Structure 1
Amino acid sequence: MPMHKSASKGADNFPSLRKLVKDRLLKDVFEAAEEKSHGWKILVVDPGSMAVISSSVGMYDIMERRITIVESLEKKRAPFPDKGVIYLMEPTEDSISKLIEDYANKKPLYGPNVFLFFLQRLPDPLLEKIKYCRPLVKRVKALSEVNIDFLAKEDRGFTFDMRESFAPLYSRQGANKFEEVIANKLVTVCATLNEYPHIRYSKSSKVCDTLATLFHKKMDAFLAANPSWWYHGGSSKNDARASQRDRAVLLLLDRADDCLTPLMHDFHYQSMVHDLLKVERDRITTQAETQEDATETEAKDFLLDEKDELWVEIRGKHIAQVIELLSARIREIMNSNTGGALGGKKGDGEKKMSLTDMAAALKALPEYREIMSKLSQHMHISHECMDVFSAESLMDLSEIEQTLATGMDDEGRQPKMSEIIDRVELCLRKMKDPKARIRLILIATLSANGLNYDDRNRLLGAADFSRSDGQTVDNLKAMGAKMGGQKKEDKAGGGGGGFFSSLVGADSGDDDEDEDGEIAQSRFKPVLKRILQGLLGVGDQPLSFEDFPSVVPMPEASSGTAASSARGRKKKHHGGVEGSARKGGGKKDWNKAHGGATSGKKPALTFTGARSVVFTVGGMAHSEMRICREMQELENREIIFGSTAFVTAKDFVEDLSTLS
């Protein structure tokens, strides 16, 4: 069924995914309905479409388009026979049945103007079902597919919010149904981006192999059904923008190829907040100053999303850098002409800002209340993270994780596995949280290429595991998880070998050392970093077509082989630590090496070359989301990243347990 053209205009050559979604919804749904009926309308949504709208469009934007009320399709609703109605739905059997119920009675709920919009292609059987409801059909003024069936959580990050797909995909029981859903949703992502991408996938993954073929067929069908739709790298006959960029590459990855990354502790702000604190659908509850008295606090809910500019700025920074930056910004305000009465002195910027100091600043500077309140909010959250960090001795735990995963300790020594197992056993006996014990044993199992019988029993005994906990560890094999970590042979865990090691090399690589040759604080690097370097043609070598084949042969210019290597250019070093801190020098570096409290927005993004769309089946970790953003900024190459779900370590362990 034909779709509307994208609403994105040419002034912005690099619009964010969220902007594209917002423009499409406002133009192709609300403005399209307004053109045919000028009165106030009701908007009726199902859970899927409500999530899509919430992720990118504000209620103010909707109300501006003459929407008087938003109602749930799932709930009983009051009749509005004098008003038109817009239905925005997923094309599912359940939603269509509820739609028809609204017109099954003699007195329909709404007036004579009905607009039907679906997030993706409406299957023919469901279209026929609608046609048989004559009271509905005679009221329909528009029926269209908007092709937006995903959540644009970040400017260049999307999720399908499909954690329920984990067990079927990896147990292969009912996998076909979920592969079909994922492929359909990916088509809507590419339709929104105006991309008809070259498709590459992880050869070792059965899921990716199947998904690549299925998506290719569905994308071809979409192209055939929408002859007026344009795509980057295609003919400029439909739109001049088609010739401005080459065709994108869609890379399909499998969580099973790197199960370590979502389990490892990462001390960058976004990862830490989601890992250590309670965050539900981007909402967090923390202490905030009351409106009446800035020295008093109360529990308040906050959204950690793209609308919070400070969150967007600092989420990828190391926690120590975040606290230092927030303190310096607050003190900068206190030391300004307006804040001089507070007695701020030169050099105070070096001093840490306490929560009490912030409360005093808020009270004394009412004109800065809004910005100070936001700074205070994130200072509270970051301090909560550090409270958990200290209470759970995460510095020491992270050091064990790093040594397990890389086979190298913080002194650059490669200990024997027996030494590491002793340390893990001791750590397990001290741990109070059973979920934390499972997490550590999973890391040990993955790093050791599968624990031997004696070591496994030692650790399971130390962890005091239940039978179901032990089964969760065994489910790594059921998932097809790649073992071995990032290490050299005959040391901690032995050589991982095979596909996994071919991605990361024998060790972390020389780009993980600082200018003095000292081993970086985080020896472990998410496998995704090397994959992206290969995909963009900026690593040691381009991404292997043997390990990551394309569905159809790719032109040489798009394969990455023509891209210049990054090895010839001067290395760029980031201020943030890559995921963990070590004892001694690492702890010292937290307060020294992660400075940079200066404020100021980054310049508008500009990119070279074609887009890369990276999609991970089975969940993407927050550290991987950060890697995508860092690589995008470093290389000036646009990277759109997405997954069936964005997951924490807790989420991943829970998903793994469902394979039992």
Structure 2
Amino acid sequence: MIDDSGPGMKVLLMDKETTSIVSMVYAQSEILQKEVYLFERIESTGRETMKHLKCICFLRPTKENVDLLAQELRMSKYGQYYIYWSNVISKQDVKTLAEADDQEVVREVQEFFADYIAVNPHLFALNIVGCYKGVDWQPAALKRTTQGLTSALLSLKKCPMIRYQNSSELARKLAESVRQTISKDAGLFEFRRTDVEPVLLILDRRDDAVTPILNQWTYQAMVHELLGISNNRVNLSSVPGISKELQEVVLSAEHDEFYANNMYMNFGEIGNNIKTLMDEFQKKSQSQAKVESIADMKAFIENYPQFKKMSGTVSKHVTVVGELSRLVGKTGLLEVSETEQELACQSDHSASLQKIKTLLNDSKVSQLDKLRLVMLYALRYESHSNNDVSGLVETLRKQGVPDNYRTLVSAILEYGGKKTRGSDLFGSTDPVAFTKRFFKGLKGVENVYTQHKPLLDSLLDQLLKGKLREAAYPYLGTVQLKDRPQDVIVFIIGGTTFEEALTVHQLNKSSPGVRVVLGGTAVHNFKSFLEELQTAVQPVVMGRKDAIKK
């Protein structure tokens, strides 16, 4: 977009969503190198008139944006306008803009299909939390999801065969909606045919409510779980003794080599890798300081200001890993996670119940982690004859866990319990496959279980072997795929997780000739998943509060 407008000083005019879309893939410093000196928002009033600037507009084709841009063109503030829409724009809207362009300042109008957030090379999201309205779609969310998903297909140049989860009305509706859009804009979807048709597989989060509940142990997933990642930004302002320049950090695989190399590593390995970087620097600085733990690293960095200058990246990661390490210790996360993994992967009711009761009475364990354990237990032992969900909810109450959290235990059963699921989430788990995996690493980073595999793992395995059951995941329409697919786009309604992104990353790495891309309405950590859950079962939960109290 920026190159098309030729040389000269430029302003980039965006809306709230396209600002997020751009910030995920370009650093501001990179855009500055392209002669873009000003970043403005279309909705902001009181912008200065600067006729010497060329204006590159990158906007979502919403009614509001079309109206704002028409207003802008009538009273143009810049010399020339190059307009790019993030998705298909109607002929009527183009006509509206043409009529507003009295001064003939528009040089170009194009559709540039980028109507989604590119998170990782194989992961995209739409930043929609709360797409459910009971067992149906929020209408606005269905519309936005269709736009985002079709835009992703266009930018990947895929016109796929569509399969969807048969047990989900939402999956069927989205499949229909995407097919209608493809039919309506058939000309745009005329790509060169490949030997094997690409497949779009539409799933519903409710089929696997376990994955977003679990604590994570790979770097990117762990940062999102414990600190939260919002459009690549991590807020560290609440970290004890944090310096001003590290209160917000950017974690982007595009611009940060260490992050790109370590985002899928487990916690122990990251500690080792940072230590290696530190050792290299120590050799250079001939320092004799002993660096063994994450705490030693932090002290080392503070004592060597020139090291900070030499490598802002390392000081950033030492801070992030240091904070993760502090939180793991402070909240007893290793014990919690071990019990979570046993709940997800094994079937020993009395042992699990005992462990949960012990952790619920442990003052170190956070309220959220206590809630996690009870929710996992409720899903795992929903139909067990001796299940003690009510007793555990009562313990949560005694431990001061608020009412709005406790109601979510019955909400998770409404949302992702046996009645809702189309697949056998627990039955096919093989207890023998559950093995301890040890972290090798720094002192203070102990061993932990990381054995759970999301449902997506087995679904993709079946799909790529041509064994995914058609009754459970039918094709939309009559045409069916004869060969095993090589190009797969999976989309999860209700949000995906970094654990599932890791599954896709590993699959792509280990299967030459296969490319899987994962998308979701959001990328969840436990907190955002709880928000999703609340909107999905709100009417039901309200009516059940009395039952829960009893």
Q: TM-score, normalised by structure 1?
A: 0.71
Is the alpha carbon distance of 1:322 and 1:463 closer, same or farther for their aligned partners in structure 2, counting shifts above 3 Å? same
1:208 to 171, 193, 206: 171
Q: Deviations over 1:150-201 (max 9, x none)?
A: 1112122111111142x33x442x6343223212211111111111122222
Matched, 1:156 2:143: no
Which residue of the partner structure matches residue 305 of structure 1?
Answer: 252
Equivalent runs, 1:77-116 vs 2, <5 Å: 77-104=47-74, 108-111=75-78, 113-116=80-83
1:320 to 263, 268, 274: 268
The DSSP-based 3-state class of the residue aligned with 2:368 is: helix
Which residue of the partner structure matches residue 525 of structure 1?
Answer: 453
Give aligned pairs, total.
515
Is the alpha carbon distance of 1:334 and 1:253 closer, same or farther for their aligned partners in structure 2, counting shifts above 3 Å? same
Is the alpha carbon distance of 1:418 and 1:58 closer, same or farther for their aligned partners in structure 2, counting shifts above 3 Å? closer
The DSSP-based 3-state class of the residue aligned with 1:385 is: helix
Equivalent runs, 1:21-420 vs 2, <5 Å: 29-34=1-6, 39-76=8-45, 77-104=47-74, 108-111=75-78, 113-133=80-100, 135=102, 138-165=104-131, 167-168=132-133, 170-172=134-136, 175-222=138-185, 224-226=186-188, 230-231=191-192, 233=194, 246-286=196-236, 300=246, 301-306=248-253, 307-335=255-283, 338-339=284-285, 341-343=286-288, 352-356=292-296, 360=300, 366=306, 372-408=311-347, 415=348, 417-420=349-352
Give, as a single letter, the amino acid of the residue that structure 2 aligns with 1:220.
S
Distance 2:244 2:107 in 1: 49
The DSSP-based 3-state class of the residue aligned with 1:152 is: strand
Distance 1:482 1:58 in 2: 43
Distance 2:192 2:302 in 1: 51
Is the alpha carbon distance of 1:510 and 1:192 closer, same or farther for their aligned partners in structure 2, counting shifts above 3 Å? farther
Q: How many angstroms does 1:217 deviate by?
A: 2.4
Distance 2:297 2:484 in 1: 55
Distance 1:128 1:225 in 2: 20
Quick check: 2:130–2:531 contact (8 Å CA) kept in 1? no
Give, as a single letter, the amino acid of the residue that structure 2 aligns with 1:269.
Y
Which residue of the partner structure matches residue 550 of structure 1?
Answer: 475
Q: How many angstroms does 1:269 deviate by?
A: 1.7
Quick check: 1:620–1:647 contact (8 Å CA) kept in 2? yes
Q: Deviations over 1:41-96 (max 9, x none)?
A: 33211111111211113334444444332211111111224444222211112112
2:522 to 636, 640, 645: 645
Which residue of the partner structure matches residue 624 of structure 1?
Answer: 500
Q: How many angstroms does 1:639 deviate by?
A: 1.9
Is the alpha carbon distance of 1:328 and 1:100 closer, same or farther for their aligned partners in structure 2, counting shifts above 3 Å? same
Quick check: 1:84–1:110 contact (8 Å CA) kept in 2? no
Quick check: 2:374–2:392 contact (8 Å CA) kept in 1? yes
Q: TM-score, normalised by structure 2?
A: 0.84
RMSD (Å), alpha carbons: 3.3
Is the alpha carbon distance of 1:360 and 1:232 closer, same or farther for their aligned partners in structure 2, counting shifts above 3 Å? farther
Matched, 1:500 2:423: yes
Matched, 1:460 2:393: yes
Distance 2:142 2:266 in 1: 36
Distance 1:82 1:326 in 2: 48
Q: Deviations over 1:408-467 (max 9, x none)?
A: 4xxxxxx3x345334323422335643333322211111112688982321121111544
Quick check: 1:151–1:158 contact (8 Å CA) kept in 2? yes
Is the alpha carbon distance of 1:467 and 1:363 closer, same or farther for their aligned partners in structure 2, counting shifts above 3 Å? closer
Quick check: 1:195–1:231 contact (8 Å CA) kept in 2? no
Q: Percent identity?
A: 18
Moved more, 372-381 or 394-403: 372-381
Distance 1:247 1:647 in 2: 30
Give, as a single letter, the amino acid of the residue that structure 1 aligns with 2:50.
F
Q: Deviations over 1:481-534 (max 9, x none)?
A: 1449xxxxxxxxxxx9x7432x6652247766589xxxx944432111111222
The DSSP-based 3-state class of the residue aligned with 2:409 is: helix
The DSSP-based 3-state class of the residue aligned with 1:153 is: strand
Is the alpha carbon distance of 1:529 and 1:510 closer, same or farther for their aligned partners in structure 2, counting shifts above 3 Å? farther
Is the alpha carbon distance of 1:146 and 1:558 closer, same or farther for their aligned partners in structure 2, counting shifts above 3 Å? same
Quick check: 2:344–2:426 contact (8 Å CA) kept in 1? no
The DSSP-based 3-state class of the residue aligned with 1:633 is: helix
Quick check: 1:362–1:372 contact (8 Å CA) kept in 2? no
Q: How many angstroms does 1:385 deviate by?
A: 1.2
Give, as a single letter, the amino acid of the residue that structure 1 aligns with 2:215.
H
Quick check: 1:504–1:530 contact (8 Å CA) kept in 2? no
Quick check: 2:127–2:521 contact (8 Å CA) kept in 1? yes
Higher relative contact order (CA 8 A, sep 6+): 2
The DSSP-based 3-state class of the residue aligned with 2:109 is: strand
Distance 1:152 1:247 in 2: 24
User: Where do 5+ consecutive residues of structure 1 fail to align?
Assistant: 1-28, 234-244, 288-295, 409-414, 485-495, 560-609
Equivalent runs, 1:420-435 vs 2, <5 Å: 420-431=352-363, 433-435=366-368
Quick check: 1:258–1:482 contact (8 Å CA) kept in 2? no
Moved more, 326-335 or 127-136: 127-136
